[in-house]
Chain A
Amino acid sequence: MMADRRRINGPPGGTRPAVFASNSQSGTGATTRAQRQRQPSELRKIFLKTGLIPTASGSSYLEFEPSASLAAARANPKSLIPPSSALKLACTVHGPKPLPRSAAFSPNLVLTTHVKYAPFAARRRKGHIRDSSERDLGVHLETALRGAIIAERWPKSGLDITITILEAEDDRWWGDAPDSHDASWGMMNVLAGCITAASAAIADAHIDCLDLVAGGVAALVSDESAGSSAAPKLMLDTDPAEHRSILSACVVGYMPARDEITELWLKGDSSKASLEDGDKRTGHEALIDGAVDAARGAHTVLAEAVRESLLSAVGQL
């Protein structure tokens, strides 16, 4: 492959990530798996603030609360290997602005979404050029937002939404070898964060929407502590690093005011969900309902952040 001459490249032979020796000997206790301390339906706190980037028409910054194990590791650092990570991302909105002359006529607002991980965002170093998972996230985000934006109010205009992920969620616990559960569960949490943050930034840019779209994640988790035979349980707002095996997960973009889903992405085997007696829902329905509940929670944060930025804007005038 040709070297990218527009960037500064490292050693031509390539480098290898550090390999950590067994930590069982050093006794740092980092091998203990991060455990979920929250109740199944308890959501993580979200830090969301809008308008931090003055050069953009709208912007927001979102951060998930660090998990209990991460917070403990930060307070009392022992190991260089972090037990889990918490989402941190910045979103900017530029526009509405005229479409380039070369673009075809559009009676609606043309939305462009762009999601990029910082090279240091994940456990593995990411490249500078977007890979397919980042492009995929961009399409998901666009679907989620397009359902909410009232696009015909801006004919012949474009809206660029850019998200930079400074720290991503883990796909699984770091100690696990990538096995049959190597699906990228962390991407779903990232998408939920992207949807919520982008909604806040769009509101900050004063683009008309039907409602604020909030993202939420739910997953079916088989918890080994309850015995291997136990059927998978439904958990909201899962941190993949805290669970041994996630069987199925679902992320939604949800508008509470209309009770509508603008984006749904469900994957994995949801057929073995154990629900309460008398619950006649199928696994995937329960999963979608769970994700919607998580999104409802995120919506309260979202509404609060938007209201706050509005009040401060009124206060300035």
Chain B
Amino acid sequence: MSNQRQASSASQVPHLSPAELSYLYTSLSLPKSSIRPDGRSPTQFRPLTAETNILPGTNGSARVGFADGTQAIVGVKAEVEKTVLSNETVDARSEFGISEDRGEQEGSAAVGGHGSWVQMSIEIPGFRDDDALPVFLSEMMRESLVGAVGSAEASDMTGGLKGRLVINKRWHWRLYIDVLLLSQPLSYPLPLLSLTTHLALLSTKLPKLKSQGEEDPFFDDDWAVAEYLYPRVSLSSAKHSARSPFVRPPVTLLVISVGENIIFDPNREEIAVADAVLAISITRDSEAGNLKLLSIRTVDPPSRLTQPGIPNSENVNMLGAVASTEDVAVLNPATGEEEVPGVWRPRRGGVKRSVIAEMVKTVLKKGGVGEEVLEGLEGVEVS
């Protein structure tokens, strides 16, 4: 029961004392030069090991491990499925006898693909699969995945993942993405799961279609000629080739703000003192080649649930031991509340718009964190 309740707060509150929280916050919020507990720069990610194609029984798979020992495995399976007609309305065309079978009535659905063709399940030890955290994470990742459409009606059928799943008007691929976290999450597991899913999708291959047109599909059993779900382009040519649709799976980054600083890939201690936590999904724009924002979601910062510290002036044990002038409440510019320096207070309220804009900018700007991450992931595949 208690587990379930806490789970809804996006991540568990680490058991840090108010003094520890205050220390962390102060060092992370140092103007312009935050000091992270593990010595990383604000935009630096934790070191990780990654490999792909580890599961022979899947169409694509990946494993990513963080240095702290948490590992995630993602397997992607594809199945051929018959496209069913939606029951809501019979298209006018069928009435005039143009279509011979049901499949054609929903021609537009067959061309555009459907979001429900991508199924995602996330398993996290210690959570039931209908708990808030796994549901929230899988909705968040699935949303950017199916939302990553190439520019609406532009001719590139391969633009979005959904469009890529269409075989012909009557058949489509159904994609099952199973995400497994191998140990209890030590930090908010979003970056790990998102990176692993990204790699698994990059390595996903679909067998080559041998049938043509509207036939019932059959495939080449030679795995060597199978095609990538996301067509590969060599790294060097990618940046300059305008003609090739350079579509990549989205990646979701976890960004926090502490004071005036913006910090990427926070670990468990850092997220505990965050003023605001955002999950930002990005992908490469298929046309312009720069980054495109897919979605932003706020994540409930666990700092709201922490225990407050008590200033010396209010502490009965310390009464008279310290001069009351020692702790004077000052206005924290980030939260707009009066605080005694060095005394932890749980966060209240929300985020300023300017902070959100700054966070998104850091991700999206040329040569920013987003590009760095996507390029890094591309590198994994090559090796």
Contacts and interface: CB of A to CB of B under 8 A. Distances in A.
Interface stretch (A1-9, A50-58, A257-265, A309-317): A257-265
Interface in A264-292: 264-272, 282-285, 288-289, 292
A181 to B, nearest CB: 8
A20 B90 contact: yes
Contact of A245 (B138, B152, B300): B152
Interface residues of A, number: 78
A275 B217 CA distance: 46
Contacts of A210: 348-349
A179 B108 contact: yes
Contacts of B153: 228
A180 B349 CA distance: 36
A113 B346 CA distance: 21
A164 interface: no
Contact of A151 (B1, B346, B351, B353): B346
Contact of A17 (B88, B113, B348, B356): B88
A270 to B, nearest CB: 6
Interface in B327-362: 336, 346, 348-353, 356-357, 360
B144 A267 contact: yes
Contacts of B356: 261, 264, 288
Contacts of A130: 130
Greatest chain B CB density within 10 A among A111, A124, A139, A148 is at A139
A154 interface: no
A177 B108 contact: yes
Interface string A76-110: 00000100000000000000000010111011101
A268 B369 CA distance: 20
A268 B5 CA distance: 31
A253 B349 CA distance: 11
Contacts of B1: 100, 102-103
Nearest to A211: B349
B87 A151 contact: no
Interface stretch (A21-29, A41-49, A61-69, A199-207): A21-29
B171 to A, nearest CB: 17
A19 B90 contact: yes
A135 B112 contact: no
Given A210-B348, A260-B350, A262-B350, 6 more contacts: A132-B135, A133-B139, A136-B135, A143-B299, A151-B346, A270-B293
Interface of B: 1-2, 5-6, 8-10, 86-92, 94-95, 106-109, 111-116, 130, 132, 135-136, 138-139, 143-144, 146-147, 149, 151-153, 160, 162-163, 278, 285, 292-300, 304-308, 336, 346, 348-353, 356-357, 360
